[in-house]
Amino acid sequence: MFRPRPETPLFHNLLIRQIVPILIIVGVVVGVLLIFSLEHQSMVVVGLTEGKTVSSELNAAVGQSRRDLIAITLLLFIVGGVGISAVVTYLHYANTKQNLEEVKGLARHILESIPTGVLTVSEDGVITAANPTAEAILERPAASLLGKHYDVVFGEGHPIQVLLAQILHHGGSMHSKEITFDSQNGEVRTIRISSVDLTGDNGKPAGMIFQLHDVTEWLALEKQVNEAQRLTALHTLSAGVAHELRNPLSALDLNLHLLEEELRETTDLSSRANDYFKVLNTELSRLSAILDNIMRYAQSRPSQFQEVNIQSLVSHVTQLLQHEAEDRNQHLQVSVPTNLPDVQGDETQIAQALINVVINALQAMSAGGVCRIIVQERERQERHWLEIAVHDTGQGIDPQSLVHIFDPFYTTKETGTGLGLAVAHRILQNHGGRIDVTALPGEGTSVTLSLPVCVNARAIPVEGA
């Protein structure tokens, strides 16, 4: 692809076509000079011996002189031919070397410019080439890749090592095989690998070429798009159902209060009747709270953002929920550093998301449990974030339930609506943030709300603080 195959016919070679004409010209010139020299010598001898008897010694000397002249001429011809051949060969070599360097440079630049990772492996498993994209995807410099066996580079059992071993041992091409592995910073990355056979100039197999694509962000975006499409209909349905149920629920609540007041004015209610009214009012309040959550979940993106001080917001939420924690004999512990930068968003909705998360934490713990709220600033993906982490000491969440934890109406609690974390997830998405949950059965749960810091709103230490 990058260099022509060598041509085998002899006279198609540029070097031979250049040397032969030069040698012919040199031979003609030397032959002409030799003829003139011999004729000149003959004329000199004739002139010297004109009218005289020529001795045998003179004839022998003249013959030897002619033979020496011919030998010297042939020697000069050979030396000249060799010299000319050497010069032409050197010039051809220099030109070929320059062309080869240009081709190698072009191939190198093409390989380095390809946005796809390219990795070549010989038949015996030695990595022979890797472009910068492959180095970035594999998180390994070229010095640790080139000339080393893939088993040594990746280690036994690594997903990439297993895949390379499978392909090299069984042969054949592979298209868009996805594998996941833990990157050096702890993130799970997904790469898509394709392979084709590599052949040498002799047409024989020389190894494999692997194309590497990091599709982690692409898959995350695809998942978000699919999730958005799936939830759009659910948002519309939820809003419609909540709106249609709000009116009859309000009528029920109003008429129940009117009935209760009228009965209290006309007669003394028994304790059983009071219990009935208490149950009815409690259930109507619960239905109203469910509809409020549905409306919050279906609410579109806030139209107006403002700068929100997270320190005061966390303090306000803690005060609201402190009494509920005390009623459950649980403890709230808060750690918020000073001089935090502000975030951009809707303060009421961010507070609602945090309230939902903290209430879930309190409900997941038994008496004596501790809920810790920790706020810190982090830099991730070249952006600054404020993270609000809520840790509880409850029973944790099993992996099967963890997958569906943000699905609307999904709950593992007997009295839950399954909308608390779904609403919080929706709010964080609307604010350009994210919500992450880590949990193990029996070891508690950690929920982290991440919000982007306002542009040019980094925290500045206050003098004397």
The answer to whether 297 and 334 are in contact (CB under 8 A) is: no
| Residue 417 CB partners (closer than 8 Å, separation 6+) | 290, 293, 409, 411
Confidence band for 371, pLDDT divided at 50, 70 and 90: very high
Residue 291: both structure tokens together: 């509809």
Which string of DSSP letters, residue by residue, matches 36-61?
A: HHHHHHHHHHHHHTTTSPPPHHHHHH
Confidence band for 196, pLDDT divided at 50, 70 and 90: confident
How far apart, in whole angstroms, are the C-alpha atoms of residue 120 and residue 145? 10
The answer to whether 437 and 424 are in contact (CB under 8 A) is: no
| Residue 427 CB partners (closer than 8 Å, separation 6+) | 296, 349, 350, 352, 353
What is the model's pLDDT at position 48? 55
Secondary structure class of 439 (helix, strand, coil): strand
The answer to whether 42 and 54 are in contact (CB under 8 A) is: no
pTM for this entry: 0.47
Answer left, alpha or beta for residue 171, where phi above 0 means left and psi between -120 and 50 means alpha: left
Can you give the C-alpha Rg of the chain in angstroms? 45
Alpha-carbon dihedral of residues 228, 232, 234, 238, nearest 10 degrees?
130
What is the model's pLDDT at position 4? 43
Residue 212: both structure tokens together: 């590497």
Q: How many CB atoms lie within 10 A of CB 415?
A: 7
How far apart, in whole angstroms, are the C-alpha atoms of residue 277 and residue 264? 11
Q: Name which of 22-31, 169-178, 395-404 the model is least confident about.
A: 22-31
Higher local confidence (pLDDT), 3 or 148? 148
What is the model's pLDDT at position 373? 93
**Residues 283-293: b if buried by 16+ CB within 10 A, e if exposed:** ebeeeeebbeb
pLDDT digits (tens, 9 = 90+) for 390-424: 999 888 888 777 777 777 776 767 666 677 788 88
Helix ranges (H only) for 267-346 are 271-298, 310-327
Element (H, E) at 333: strand 331-335
Secondary structure class of 239 (helix, strand, coil): helix
Whose structure tokens read 């549905």?
A: 294
Phi, psi dihedrals of residue 395, rounded to the nearest 5°: -85, -5
How far apart, in whole angstroms, are the C-alpha atoms of residue 388 and residue 451? 8
How far apart, in whole angstroms, are the C-alpha atoms of residue 224 and residue 428? 13
In the chain, pLDDT over 90 holds for what percent of residues? Answer: 4
What is the model's pLDDT at position 339? 84
Secondary structure class of 340 (helix, strand, coil): coil
Nearest to 320 by CA among 362, 271, 262, 282: 362
The answer to whether 302 and 430 are in contact (CB under 8 A) is: yes
pLDDT at 443 over 50: yes
pLDDT digits (tens, 9 = 90+) for 277-332: 888 888 788 778 777 766 666 665 555 688 888 899 999 888 888 888 888 898 88
What is the model's pLDDT at position 448? 92
pLDDT at 335 over 70: yes
CATH number for the domain whose boundaries are 117-214: 3.30.450.20
What is the model's pLDDT at position 411? 74
- For range 32-50, the mean pLDDT: 61
Q: Name which of 229-238, 384-393, 398-407, 441-450 the model is least confident about.
A: 229-238
How far apart, in whole angstroms, are the C-alpha atoms of residue 452 and residue 344? 8
Nearest to 452 by CA among 383, 390, 381: 383
pLDDT digits (tens, 9 = 90+) for 58-110: 566 656 666 766 677 677 767 777 777 777 777 778 888 888 888 877 777 77
* Average pLDDT for the chain: 77
Higher local confidence (pLDDT), 310 or 41? 310
Phi, psi dihedrals of residue 274, rounded to the nearest 5°: -60, -40
The matching CATH number, chosen from 1.10.10.10, 1.10.287.130, 3.40.50.2300, 3.40.50.150, for 219-298 is 1.10.287.130
Nearest to 27 by CA among 66, 81, 70: 81
Answer left, alpha or beta for residue 33, where phi above 0 means left and psi between -120 and 50 means alpha: alpha
Phi, psi dihedrals of residue 128, rounded to the nearest 5°: -110, -20
Element (H, E) at 214: strand 205-214
pLDDT at 9 over 60: no
What is the model's pLDDT at position 375? 92
What is the model's pLDDT at position 239? 67
Q: How many residues does the chain have?
A: 465
Neighbouring-strand partners of residue 177: 193
What is the model's pLDDT at position 26? 66
pLDDT digits (tens, 9 = 90+) for 97-139: 888 888 877 777 777 778 888 888 888 888 888 888 888 888 8
Confirm or reject CATH 3.90.79.10 for domain 306-452, answering yes or no.
no
What is the model's pLDDT at position 55? 60
